[in-house]
Structure 1
C-alpha cells in the first residue's frame, strides 16, 4: 500500500517538474506553425515619425515575437544627385526629411527593445535600366555604398551596438536581368568590392541579400545554379543571409511554385558553409496594390517554413501595422501568433446591392455596409461567380484615397451567346473569411454575333511604329494570317508586340468592299507588362489618304481574379455595312507597358 502511494507521489512530482520545465523552456515556444521574425520598412513611411511613434511601431513587432528590422531608402541616388536620411559630411549630398533623422530614431528605440536592425547604404534608381553585366556602373555604385556605410557605422554603431546588427544589400537581383554566369561574375565582383572594404575597415557585419524570381523567364534549378556559382566566388562569411523574396505579392511566382523554388535555392545555400537561408514573405497584392488578407500570407509561410532557417516579411509595417492601416490586421495576426490559427467570426453580409446602367453595357455597382463593420476589411464583387473586384481598406501612407468601400464601375466583356450577367457582393474579414452573398442582381448586355465572312485574311498591311525587336513582324504577315496564339503568353511567336508607343495598323483589303465588323485579339499578361490598351479606334478609307472614323473598340474591365495570361478578342460592330478598302486601327498603349496582338480581323 505504501509503495503504491509513494509511486503516485513520485509520478505527480515528475509531472509537475516537467510542466514547470516546459513552461520555462524554449520547448514551449517551439511551435509547429510558422511566424515571421522581422520586417522590412522603407523610411519614407516614417518621414514624419517622432521617437514615440517609432517606439509604438517597434512594440507592435516585439509583441508579435519579431526580432529583426530591415530599413531601406537610407540614401537614394537619381542621376548625379544623392539624398540621405541622415546628416552626411559629404557636402554634395542633399538631406531628406528636414531635421528628422529616422535612422537615429529607429536605432535608439530598437536598442531599448532588443531589436536587431539591418541598414541599407545607397540605392541608385538607374538599377532598373542597366543590364546585368554592366560592371563599370555596378562597381561605381559600390564605391558610393562604401562611403555611406562608413558614415553610418561611425555615426551609429558605437552608440547603438546591439541594435545596429547588419547591412542590407539594396540592389534586388532577379532571373530576368541576371540569367548568365557572366552576370553573376559581375555581381560577385561588385559584392566583393563592398565586402572587402567593410572587412578592411573593421565595419563588417552580417549582410542580407533579398533577390526575387520569376517563373515565366526561367526555372528554379537554373536560378539556384547561378546563385551557387556566385556563393563560390563571393567573400561571404558565416552569419550572412540569403533571403529571397517569395515573389507571391508581385505575382512572379504562383503559390504552388513557392516550395519548389525555395527547395532548389536551399540546396545552393547549403553549398556555402555558414550562410543562412531566410524567406522574405510578401504581404501585398500587386493586382490592386493592397494589403493581402492573412489567410494567403499564412499559406505562404507554411509553404516556405520547411525549407528555410527563418522568415521575415515585406512588409508588416506598411501593410499590417496599426500605424498605417486598420488595427484589425494586427489583432488577427497577434491572435494567430498566440493560438496558431486565425480568428473566425461570423460576418454580416452586405445589403441592398444595386446595379445601374451608366451607359450601354457599362454599370455602376453599389451596396450598403452591414450594421457591424469593425470586423470587415473589404468587399469582393462577383459577376457570374467570377471575382471581378476586391475593395480593400486603404493604407494611410501608400494607399489610394479615391478607392470607395462600396462602389465600383464594371465594363463586362461581351461574348457570343451571353445576354446577361448576375452580380453579387460579399464582405471580407482580416483573416480572409467571407460573408454570405448579398442579394443577386441580373442585368442585360449585348451579345456578340460574329459575322460570317473574314475579308482581311492574308491581306497586306503597314505598321507604325515597327514592333519591339523581340516581338517583331519582319515580313508583315502575322497579324492577318489567321494564326492565333496557342498559349496566352508573350513567348508565343504569333504575337506582335509594341512597348509604350501608340500603334497604327492599316490593312489594305485590295479593293473597295463592304465592311461591318472589326475584331482585335489582344493579349493581357501583367507580369511581363502586357496590358490592354488605354483606348483603340477604327477608321476607314477608300483611297488610303482620307480616313473617316467609324467608332471605338470597347475596352472591358479586367477581373481581379485574372492574374496571368488571357486573350481578349475585342469587337466593334457597325449597325450597317460601309464601303472601304483601307481599315486603320489606332491603339494607345498604356504608359510603360506593352501591347500584344496576334490577329486583326475585318468581317462582313
Structure 2
C-alpha cells in the first residue's frame, strides 16, 4: 500500500461504530441544552449512513447506567428492575431504536451490559483490594447476568439475526491490573461467571471488551508488552471472552500511529498463542483481535481528520480483523438540533466516504484564512479569523527564539463565519512569530497567515515583581502572610520552552483561585513528550532577580480519572545549586471520584501540591526544580508558589 496521500488501491475501512446512547436520550438534558432527544428517525439516519459507508456493525455503549442498588437508568424497558429504574420513556426506548434501525439496514449489534463508571474506576485504581471493591465485582456480575437474560428475553425473537454477541462496557487499562491480586479478582469475581453465562445465551456470539491502551507516546519496552499480553493470555485461558478490541488512544492524544504497530503486532502473536491454548483445552479457537480507532479528537477540532484516522488504522491493519470506532457522534451526520449533534460531521463523513471510494485521501486546496490581530494588555495576542471557504478548523503556531509550538486548534463550526484565538500572557520583551492555517476534514492545510511582532517589557519581566499577601494556599498549605511570588502555567501546550538541556518558564501571571481543568481548561498547560535529562528529570529553572529568603516552594499538578494525565513521581528543589527539599508524590486517594462535572472529562480532577519545606532557613536567587516523571506523557501543571 502506498502512503495515505498516494494513490493506493484501498485504505483500511471501519466495520462499524459505537453510539453513546446515554448522551442522546435525556429529556432534562435536552431541555437544558435546548435540543431534542433521539428517536427512531435519528437512529435510522445513523444506521443508514453506516451502511452507505460500507459498515456492518452498530454497538450501543450502555444498556444500564448503574448508579447504586436503588438508582439505575435503563435504556430498555425493564420489568425486573422497575422499582429502581429512573429512566424516562425516551431513555427506555434507545436499545429498541438501535436494534430496529440495525434490522432495517442489515447491521449487526452487540448488546451492551451495564456501566457503573464512578464505582468501577474507584475500585480498579484500588486494585480491587478492599472488601467493598470485591463485593462490587460480585454484585456487578449478578446484575450483568440478570440484564443479559432480560434483554435476550425481550429482543431475541424479533432481532435474533441482528444480535451478534455482547459488549462489556467496564474498561480496564495497561496500568492497574498488574499489582497484587487485581487481575485474579477481576477474572474470578466478574469475568468468569459473566462470560460463562453469556456463552450459554449465545453459543456462537462474540464477547467483546475494549480496554484503554496508553502508549505514553513512546515505543513499548519488552516488559510493557510482556505484562500486557500475559494479562490477556490469562484472561482468554480462564474465561469465555473472545474478542479484544483496544481503544487506540489517539483521540485522547495519548497515542499516535508511531507507537501502535508494536503493541498490536505483539497482541496478534498473543492471540495466536491463546487460540493454541484453547485447542489444548478442547475449546473453540475463535479469539480475535479488533481495533477501536478513536475518531474523536481532544485537540480542539472535535473530530480527527481523515488522514490521521487512516494512518492510525493503517499502522495496525496487518494485525486486526476489524476496526470499530468510537464513536458515531464524531463522524456520522446529525443535526445540532439533537443532543450530541455536530455540524461539521457531514464534512468529515463525506471525506471518509470519498477517501474509501477512491482508495486514498485526496489532496485538496484549502484557502488561506483572512486574519487580523491586536494586542491586549501589552502581551495578550488576539487573532480574528474570517472564514473564506469550507474549512473545518484552524491551527495556530507560535515561535519564540527558534522554538515552534502548536498553541491550539479551533473547530470552525459550519454556520459560523468569524472566529477568535487569544494567546494569553506571552513572555514579555519577546520577538514572536505566528502562523495560522485553515484545515479541512481530509487533513489538508492552507498556506499560513504569518505575522511577527515584538512585545513590550511589562511588570511580568521578573517573577519577583508579583508580590501579594494571601492567607492560605489550596486550603491546606498555610502561609504566614509573607509576599508570594507566583508562576502560573496557562494555555494548552505552553509554559515550558527549551534552552539546551534545560526547560525554562515562558509565561508569567498572578495567582488565581483554583479552578478544575474540566471547567476552565485554558488555564492549564498540557505538556507532551517532556524533555528529560540523563538523570530522568524535567528541569525548570527560575531566576528570582535577587537573593531572597525562601521559606517554602510548592508546585501543583492535575490528574484526571483515567490516569492518562499523570502527576510527577517526585520533585527535587534546589536553591543556588544546593539541595533544598524533596516533595514526594501525593497519595492517590486524594482523587475525588464522587463529584461529576461538566466538560471533556467525566469526573472531578484532583489538584496535587508538591511542597518543599527546608529544615533550616535558606536564601538564594536561582531555584532549580527537577521533576521526576512517572510516565513521559501528558502533564497538567497548574501553579508554582515561592514563599
Cα contact 1:60–1:321 (8 A) shared by 2: yes
Is 1:220 the counterpart of 2:225 in the alignment? yes
In 2, distance between residues paired with 1:595 and 1:178? 24
Shift of 1:427: 0.7
Q: How do 1:330-479 residues align onto structure 2 when only pairs under 5 Å count?
A: 330-357=349-376, 359-370=377-388, 372=389, 374=390, 376-384=391-399, 385-393=404-412, 406-414=419-427, 419-446=430-457
TM-score by length of 1: 0.71
Q: CA RMSD in A?
A: 4.0
Q: How do 1:101-116 residues align onto structure 2 when only pairs under 5 Å count?
A: 101-116=93-108
Is 1:184 the counterpart of 2:198 in the alignment? no
Shift of 1:106: 1.2
Aligned residue number for residue 83 of structure 1: 73
Q: Residues 356 and 183 from structure 1, CA distance in 2 versus in 1: closer, same or farther, beyond 3 angstroms?
A: same
Unaligned runs of 5+ in 2: 1-7, 26-36, 276-285, 335-340, 465-471, 494-505, 513-520, 532-537, 560-603, 614-618, 623-643
In 2, distance between residues paired with 1:349 and 1:192? 57
CA displacement, residues 320-376 of structure 1 (integer Å, 9 cap, x when unaligned): 11113321101110101111112322111111321322x232222212222x2x2x1
In 1, distance between residues paired with 2:142 and 2:454? 63
In 2, distance between residues paired with 1:46 and 1:132? 33
Aligned residue number for residue 262 of structure 2: 260
Q: Residues 99 and 42 from structure 1, CA distance in 2 versus in 1: closer, same or farther, beyond 3 angstroms?
A: closer
How many pairs does the alignment contain?
A: 484
SS in 1 for 2:164: strand
In 2, distance between residues paired with 1:523 and 1:369? 28
Is 1:71 the counterpart of 2:76 in the alignment? no
Aligned residue number for residue 320 of structure 2: 308
Aligned residue number for residue 496 of structure 1: none
Q: Residues 112 and 352 from structure 1, CA distance in 2 versus in 1: closer, same or farther, beyond 3 angstroms?
A: closer
Cα contact 1:523–1:568 (8 A) shared by 2: no
In 2, distance between residues paired with 1:430 and 1:70? 24
Aligned residue number for residue 96 of structure 1: 87
In 1, distance between residues paired with 2:158 and 2:380? 61
Unaligned runs of 5+ in 1: 1-29, 397-402, 453-463, 466-500, 510-514, 527-531, 539-554
Aligned residue number for residue 472 of structure 1: none
SS in 2 for 1:250: coil
In 1, distance between residues paired with 2:350 and 2:97? 26
CA displacement, residues 200-249 of structure 1 (integer Å, 9 cap, x when unaligned): 5567731111111223497122211111122111134xxx3111111122
SS in 2 for 1:279: coil
In 1, distance between residues paired with 2:297 and 2:541? 27
Cα contact 1:522–1:597 (8 A) shared by 2: no
Aligned residue number for residue 500 of structure 2: none
Out of 118, 122, 129, the position equivalent to 2:122 is 129
CA displacement, residues 32-68 of structure 1 (integer Å, 9 cap, x when unaligned): 4211101111103442222222111111111111011
Q: Which moved more, 1:63-72 or 1:97-106?
A: 97-106
SS in 1 for 2:274: coil
TM-score by length of 2: 0.67
In 1, distance between residues paired with 2:290 and 2:75? 28
In 2, distance between residues paired with 1:92 and 1:594? 39
Shift of 1:196: 2.2
Q: Residues 66 and 351 from structure 1, CA distance in 2 versus in 1: closer, same or farther, beyond 3 angstroms?
A: same
Cα contact 1:520–1:597 (8 A) shared by 2: no
Cα contact 1:185–1:230 (8 A) shared by 2: no
Q: Residues 410 and 155 from structure 1, CA distance in 2 versus in 1: closer, same or farther, beyond 3 angstroms?
A: same
Q: Which moved more, 1:75-84 or 1:331-340?
A: 75-84
Is 1:173 the counterpart of 2:165 in the alignment? no
Cα contact 1:212–1:247 (8 A) shared by 2: yes
Q: Residues 140 and 557 from structure 1, CA distance in 2 versus in 1: closer, same or farther, beyond 3 angstroms?
A: closer
Is 1:208 the counterpart of 2:208 in the alignment? yes
Aligned residue number for residue 9 of structure 1: none
Q: How do 1:20-59 residues align onto structure 2 when only pairs under 5 Å count?
A: 32-47=10-25, 48-59=37-48
Q: Residues 286 and 41 from structure 1, CA distance in 2 versus in 1: closer, same or farther, beyond 3 angstroms?
A: same
Q: Residues 565 and 295 from structure 1, CA distance in 2 versus in 1: closer, same or farther, beyond 3 angstroms?
A: same
Shift of 1:305: 0.1
Aligned residue number for residue 235 of structure 1: 240
In 1, distance between residues paired with 2:191 and 2:508? 42
